Amino acid sequence: AQKITQTQPGMFVQEKEAVTLDCTYDTSDQSYGLFWYKQPSSGEMIFLIYQGSYDEQNATEGRYSLNFQKARKSANLVISASQLGDSAMYFCAMREVYGNNRLAFGKGNQVVVIP
Amino acid sequence: SAVISQKPSRDICQRGTSLTIQCQVDSQVTMMFWYRQQPGQSLTLIATANQGSEATYESGFVIDKFPISRPNLTFSTLTVSNMSPEDSSIYLCSEGGGGTDTQYFGPGTRLTVL
């Protein structure tokens, strides 16, 4: 069964600083995808970044990068140069390609960016 | 990326009533999903909406409580039946091909049951 762990408590980060959100996962599948989503207070789920298990390079999308350490089964999200609009919940998710092929979510990390 | 819309965006309902949520995607998609997010919680998959066949429900969710329709490749509805305050949640529609495909979400429907 898939399991995604996000254990950090709510985080405060200074504007323009970088923040790292931890995510570890557990799977026996060799082929899987890792996702990060942002959920502001409005409730919408905004896709940020994707990393495939066979991708050799860490994924990057603008200010977002994913620090993928396959042997440690971790997929940490790094947000560089934080902005006030980055204040939100951040969810890590995984989909096993040959497992149940369904996206499963961690419990989320709350980030508050302070000026 | 697919653009997904949901209606209504929010609603306040009385217990015992039902609400139907609509989800529209701007392109044909293979798989559509319905998720529930209870207050302060993460997302839980309710079911996969299959075009031309019955929805596939996850453990703990049943068709009588959450009937789903998928009449074509761009549209689906979720009905929350015989509502109770415990059904107060954000309901999110999602699309994705599975495998290594990216998965996008609609803006959600914020439901409050009194």
Q: Is the pLDDT of residue B97 over 80?
A: no
Q: How many CB atoms lie within 10 A of CB A73?
A: 16
pLDDT at residue B64 tops 80: yes
Name the token pair of A104: 């499963």
Which residues lie across from B44 on neighbouring strands?
A: B36
| CB of B106 less than 8 A from some CB of A | yes
Per-residue confidence (pLDDT) for residue B88, from 0 to 100: 98
Whether the predicted pLDDT of A75 surpasses 90? yes
Q: What local confidence, expressed as pLDDT, does residue A2 receive?
A: 60
Nearest chain B residue to A42 by CA: give it.
B107
| Better-scored residue on pLDDT, B93 or B53 | B93
Predicted pLDDT of residue B2 = 82
Q: What average pLDDT does the segment A64-75 reach? A: 96
The mean pLDDT of B29-44, rounded to a whole number, is: 93
pLDDT for A8: 84
Number of CB pairs, chain A paired with chain B, less than 8 A apart: 56
On the question of pLDDT at B99 being above 90, the answer is no
User: Tokens representing B100?
Assistant: 């290594």
The CA distance from A110 to A89, in Å, is 4
Percent of chain B with pLDDT over 70: 98
Three-state SS for A5? strand
A35's enclosing H/E stretch is strand A32-39
Residues A65-83: what's their mean pLDDT? 97
* Per-residue pLDDT at A1 exceeds 70: no
Identify all chain A residues contacting B105, using CB atoms and an 8 Å cutoff. Answer: 37, 44-47
For residue A9, name the pLDDT band (cuts at 50, 70, 90): confident
What distances in angstroms separate CA B107 from CA A76, A93, B18, B114, one per listed residue?
25, 18, 21, 23
Q: Which residues of A touch B1 (CB under 8 A)?
A: 47
Q: How far away is chain A from the Cα of B36, in angstroms, using its nearest Cα?
A: 12
Closest Cβ opposite residue B103 in set A43, A52, A103: A103
Alpha carbon A112 to its chain centroid, in Å, reads 16
Q: How confident is the model at residue A109, as a pLDDT? A: 94
Within A1-115, residue ranges assigned H as helices are none
Distance between CA atoms of B100 and B85, rounded to whole angstroms? 37
Confidence of residue A102 (pLDDT cuts 50, 70, 90): confident
What's the CA gap between B45 and B20, in Å, rounded? 17
**Residue A71 burial (CB count, 10 A):** 5
- How many angstroms separate the CA atoms of B41 and B21, rounded? 21
> Which chain B residues touch A96 with a CB distance below 8 Å?
none
Check whether A100 has a pLDDT greater than 80.
Answer: no
For all residues of chain B together, what is the average pLDDT?
A: 93
pLDDT at A99 over 80: no
Contact A45 B43 (CB under 8 A): yes
* Cβ contact, residue pair A47, B110, below 8 Å: no
